[in-house]
Structure 1
Amino acid sequence: MSEEELHDHDRGLSFDLPTLARRRMLALGGGGLLAVAGCAAEASGGGGGSTSSPSAAATEADASCAAIPDETGGPYPADGSNGVNVLTESGIVRGDITSSFGSASGVAEGVPLTIELTVVDAASGCGAGLQGAAVYLWHCDRDGNYSLYSQGIENENYLRGVQETDASGLVTFTSVFPACYEGRWPHIHFEVYRSLDQATAARNALKTSQLALPEDVCDTVYDSDGYSRSVQSFARVSLDTDNVFSDGSTLQLATVTGEVSQGYVASLRLGV
């Protein structure tokens, strides 16, 4: 099956709970259990340089707080839902996801991108970050290919990693800017879990969603060396026509700062 045919399908991690009450809440699942987790103030993401798109991390509860929409994990999740499960591999818990781990040695090339995600409890107004949750993040490389699935990189596992949220609910990944491939707006996949111990299979995820990258930043990156394959694909798609983001992208559109020469920082608040 060709890369284009594969991409056509893409349309569309437990700390021990200290009380029995919390265990009962865990069994209930959903946003209710999250209200008991974490009480530190949420950290705000970002960096220097120019800024694009709406504010991603609030420092206190606000009226616009809402849970980020559930979205498809796509055909390349490597979370046990479609073949391979990288979540059970030693080494998956890491911040720098640019290189493969274990027996693989590949390195993803591209414009540097730091991804900062702050997990908050939407049910309590998004004012406190959730400590001890886990985020599994993955995305395509600068050629639009996914490790563990795409032809030629089936044995690589770069651009995939899991991080545990800190006292502010923050996780940070070091990566590269993803491509735009045919039919999809430039995006990053992620799953949120109650804890690292739970982040072993997609069935345990509290939330599966996607992050959208801002148009002006994408234009700039795709005009740089190594991203020529993205230019035409990006010209043929918009947030309004993308079948994941077309129903609204406000809660998924990251704030991005930086420049091509020094890299970018993408920040997003994840209400769960």
Structure 2
Amino acid sequence: MERKEFLRRGFLSALGTSFILPIVGACSGDTVNPVSTTETTTGTTTGTTTGSCTTTATETAGPFPTKTPSSLVMTDITSDRSGTKLTVKITIQNKNNSCAALANAIVDIWHCDAAGNYSEYGGTGMQSTNYTSVHFLRGRQTTDANGLVTFTSIYPGWYSGRAPHIHAHIYSSSGTSLLVTQIAFDQTINNTVYAQGVYKSHGLQDTTNANDNVFSDGVGTELASFTGSITDGYVLTHTIVVNG
């Protein structure tokens, strides 16, 4: 099945099933493995408001979730990928604790490279380039006392049928799954980045947030903020609110 067709059909969302993330062996410290890994892939971008913050929308983890995230505890997830530098700063808040910062939460992120390809997958109709043996642009960190994690990466590319995005899966300190979501990007900055460097040959994205099958019902809880430039790189800042 072509990747665009997968996205058009909504795959797991349309089927009303759950996506089971792989369970890996036990480890210690900030490599805690999930003890509850079943995630519903039927998402909404409306969120739920309680108190002074809004729960971040739940979205699908597929079709390219990280297979063994506990093995990828790192700050710099760039690996050998080329592109405009992107620093990703994600703050986790707990709606169930008056929107306070959630310390010791586990945050996994993953995204495609400048050409729109994911590591750990490929060689099929979903993605022709075979990257099954590498793990670029995937990583795990544990939040500090301010609920913050910071990753060094590159600005994601895009692939047909999807607006640019980063996937994020949030767990409690004990490994219980709290939220799977996606982070949306600013259209103006996309246009600037994709007109230069390694992105130029791929051209501008064919899908905007408004036309995206995940983001089309709104990105109020998923749109990141950006500072920086092509020369210096960009800093992505985003808050994810979970029911901790």
Q: TM-score band, normalised by the shorter chain?
A: 0.7 to 0.9
Cα-to-partner distance string for 1:73-131 (whole Å, 9 max, x where unaligned): 121002xxxxxx22243xx11110011xxxxxxx11110000000000123342x2100
SS, match of residue 191 in structure 1: strand
Match of 1:95 in 2: 75
Cα-to-partner distance string for 1:210-233 (whole Å, 9 max, x where unaligned): 00010111010001111125424x
**1:154 maps onto 2:132 in alignment:** yes
Match of 1:22 in 2: none
Counterpart CA distance in 1 for 2:107 and 2:70 is 14
Alignment CA distance shift 1:69-1:132 (3 Å)? same
SS, match of residue 206 in structure 1: strand
Cα-to-partner distance string for 1:156-176 (whole Å, 9 max, x where unaligned): 101000000000000000000
Alignment CA distance shift 1:96-1:7 (3 Å)? farther
Alignment CA distance shift 1:145-1:191 (3 Å)? same
Name the TM-score, length of structure 2 as normaliser.
Answer: 0.76
Match of 1:211 in 2: 183
Alignment CA distance shift 1:248-1:87 (3 Å)? same
SS, match of residue 156 in structure 1: coil
Match of 1:177 in 2: 155
Match of 2:82 in 1: 109
Match of 1:119 in 2: 92
Structure 2 counterpart of 1:9, one-letter code: F
- How many pairs are equivalent? 201
SS, match of residue 240 in structure 1: helix
Structure 2 counterpart of 1:165, one-letter code: T
Counterpart CA distance in 2 for 1:257 and 1:8 is 34
Counterpart CA distance in 1 for 2:28 and 2:55 is 21
Counterpart CA distance in 2 for 1:152 and 1:228 is 22
Counterpart mapping for 1:1-272 below 5 A: 5-10=2-7, 12=10, 65-78=53-66, 85-89=67-71, 92-99=72-79, 107-126=80-99, 128-150=100-122, 151-195=129-173, 198=175, 204-232=176-204, 234=205, 236-272=206-242
Counterpart CA distance in 1 for 2:96 and 2:154 is 33
Q: CA deviation at 1:10?
A: 4.2
Name the TM-score, length of structure 1 as normaliser.
Answer: 0.69
Q: CA deviation at 1:240?
A: 1.5
Counterpart CA distance in 2 for 1:228 and 1:64 is 42
Q: CA deviation at 1:261?
A: 1.0
Higher relative contact order (CA 8 A, sep 6+): 1
Q: CA deviation at 1:189?
A: 0.2
Structure 1 unaligned spans of 5+: 16-25, 28-61, 79-84, 100-106, 199-203
Counterpart CA distance in 1 for 2:4 and 2:82 is 20
SS, match of residue 256 in structure 1: strand
Alignment CA distance shift 1:7-1:94 (3 Å)? farther
Counterpart CA distance in 1 for 2:178 and 2:111 is 19
Larger radius of gyration: 1
Counterpart CA distance in 2 for 1:174 and 1:166 is 16
In terms of fraction of residues, the more strand-rich structure is 2
Structure 1 counterpart of 2:184, one-letter code: A
Counterpart CA distance in 2 for 1:193 and 1:110 is 29
Cα-to-partner distance string for 1:220-262 (whole Å, 9 max, x where unaligned): 0001111125424x2x322221111111101100001100111
Cα-to-partner distance string for 1:158-204 (whole Å, 9 max, x where unaligned): 10000000000000000000112111110000100002x52xxxxx4
Counterpart CA distance in 1 for 2:4 and 2:89 is 26
Check conservation: 2:86, 2:153, Cα contact below 8 A.
yes
